[in-house]
Structure 1
Amino acid sequence: MTQAMPLCRHSTLPALPAPPGPTAVRLSHYVVTRRTAPRAANDNRRPRAVPAWPWAVAIAAAPMLTAALIVMQLI
């Protein structure tokens, strides 16, 4: 600025590059799982994913039923 004219406000220094503009915000960056498709109220089809709780109950009950059968055979 020392070499510019005394009353001139124009800087002789090189201009700084402009900051990058705002990038677009995409919802897909935040969505982890997809939403299930809407279904009609009278749609009685089973959902694609079968619930696991009946299998868990059967696996948990099998040893108890086996033990009960063994005890009944001993009595």
Structure 2
Amino acid sequence: MIPNNLNVGFIDRLVRGLLAIDLLALWLAGFLIGPPVTLALLIATYAAITGVLGSCFIYSLLGINTRQRTEP
């Protein structure tokens, strides 16, 4: 049984994790400087946290659910 607050599926979690890794890599490589750094790190942090937890507040507000439920 899947708790109701989990609304992020496996592929979505994978994409969020890759996004977080890519933004972190761009920052470490020096491609992101100045104000974009703050925005990119906030996005990377949010993507990583929601990917790990499997729950996205924005998805909840919009009524989106990418997690597949299997019926018993």
Query: TM-score scaled to structure 1, two decimals?
Result: 0.28
Q: Which has the higher contact order (CA 8 A, sep 6+)?
A: 2
Highest CA radius of gyration, 1 or 2? 1
Pick the structure with more helix per residue. 2
